[in-house]
Amino acid sequence: MHDRLSQGRRVSALSLGVNGGLAVVKLVTGIIGHSYALIADAVESLSDVFSSAIVMGGLVIASRPADENHPYGHGKAEPLAALAVAAMLVGAAVAIATQAVREIQTPHEAPAGYTLIVLLIVIVIKEWMYRYESRTGERIGSMVITVDAWHHRSDALTSAAVAVGITISLVGGKGYEAADDWAALAACLIICANGFRFVRSAVFELMDTKPKTTLVESIEALALSIDGARFVEKVLVRKMGPKLYVDLHLEVDPDLTVQRAHTIAHDVKDAIMSTRPEVADVLIHVEPHVERAPAGD
């Protein structure tokens, strides 16, 4: 857990620094180069600074051990932080879209050609940050890091769209000044769609939505691999940050002693936790086995 927190803090600090630095560069270039879409993009990058701080805070809280008031630990802080970051992603897209519409309706100068160079640098840096943070989030099993990675991808997409728009406005000449604003508006649709997708994922985790069927089936198979385990009547799995908590109803021979049934339950727990390191605990309810008619009868 300490190594996970260390990796998460490292990538969050890097993300915060990159977002802050690029926000200043884009803002100054946008003002001097008459690119209103680039200015709006800079404002979105400033919001990313706050999202990076939320990510870091979520990781720190989630790493705290279980206590009397939080017997399952503080892992839910991660999807809560992910929800906040995803909501900020949607909010930023709406803000950029609103500003783009205003600029489309207001005559203004075409952006300067050198703004394209800045945008290309931004795209390269942001795409690299997306890939680096996405890999880290997947490696440490952090939803909030994965969502924050998409903030970098959204910046890359917006910047790419603005670059296309600026190119069109420069090549097209008079009458095409708003091309970069239309391009920014199009990028906002992609950003919004991904923002809502991550909101959905965070809400699902907060609501303890049933995990993938393959996970449940693998846990059930591990339980039945233990001698004396006759049937798994129910498997419930909840995600708490990077860890899983399993509730399992296990049927054994009704004629067994309590001691023997207890031993079987412990063997099942050990088999699951040793094979699936992401499982933090397994609570097993032992029941007498009931013969069932074959399926289809």
Q: Quote the percentage of the chain above a pLDDT of 90.
A: 19
Q: Which pLDDT value is given to residue 63?
A: 76
How far is Cα 45 from Cα 69, in angstroms, rounded to an integer? 37
pLDDT band at 267 (very low <50, low <70, confident <90, very high): very high
Cβ atoms of 189 and 157 closer than 8 Å: no
pLDDT band at 253 (very low <50, low <70, confident <90, very high): very high
Output the CA torsion sign for 47, 48, 49, 54: positive
Please enumerate in sequence order all residues whose Cβ is within 8 A of that of 83, keeping only pairs 6 or more positions apart, or say none: 199, 202, 203, 206
Q: Which residue has the tokens 């509730």?
A: 247
Residue 176 has pLDDT above 70, yes or no: yes
Q: Which pLDDT value is given to residue 36?
A: 65
How far is Cα 150 from Cα 265, in angstroms, rounded to an integer? 42
Q: How many CB atoms lie within 10 A of CB 279?
A: 19
The DSSP bridge partners found for residue 237 are 246
Q: Which pLDDT value is given to residue 23?
A: 80
Q: Which pLDDT value is given to residue 2?
A: 54
Sheet holding 243-252, edge to edge: 231-240, 243-252, 279-288
Cβ atoms of 78 and 62 closer than 8 Å: yes
Q: Give helix 36-62 / helix 143-172 axis angle, nearest 10°.
A: 170
How far is Cα 45 from Cα 118, in angstroms, rounded to an integer? 14
Which is more confident, 124 or 97? 124
Global pTM value: 0.64
Reply yes or no on domain 2-206 having CATH 3.30.429.10.
no
Least confident of 158-167, 214-223, 244-253, 264-273: 158-167
Q: Which pLDDT value is given to residue 220?
A: 92
3-state SS, residue 257: coil
For the chain, the average pLDDT equals: 81
pLDDT tens per residue, range 66-112: 788 888 888 788 788 878 878 877 887 788 788 778 877 877 666 77
CA within 13 Å, CB half, 267: 14
Please enumerate in sequence order all residues whose Cβ is within 8 A of that of 53, keeping only pairs 6 or more positions apart, or say none: 12, 16
Alpha helices, DSSP H only, in 2-107? 2-33, 36-62, 77-105
- Domain ranges across the chain: 2-206, 213-288
Q: Which pLDDT value is given to residue 211?
A: 77
pLDDT tens per residue, range 13-69: 788 788 788 888 888 887 887 776 677 667 667 767 777 777 777 777 877 877 888
Per-range mean pLDDT, top range of 35-39, 45-49, 142-146, 204-208: 204-208
Strands 279-288 and 231-240: unpaired
Cβ atoms of 55 and 144 closer than 8 Å: yes
Q: Which pLDDT value is given to residue 1?
A: 52
Q: What is the DSSP letter of 238?
A: E
Please enumerate in sequence order all residues whose Cβ is within 8 A of that of 215, keeping only pairs 6 or more positions apart, or say none: 237, 244
Cβ atoms of 243 and 70 closer than 8 Å: no
How far is Cα 209 from Cα 79, in angstroms, rounded to an integer? 13
Reply yes or no on domain 213-288 having CATH 3.30.70.1350.
yes
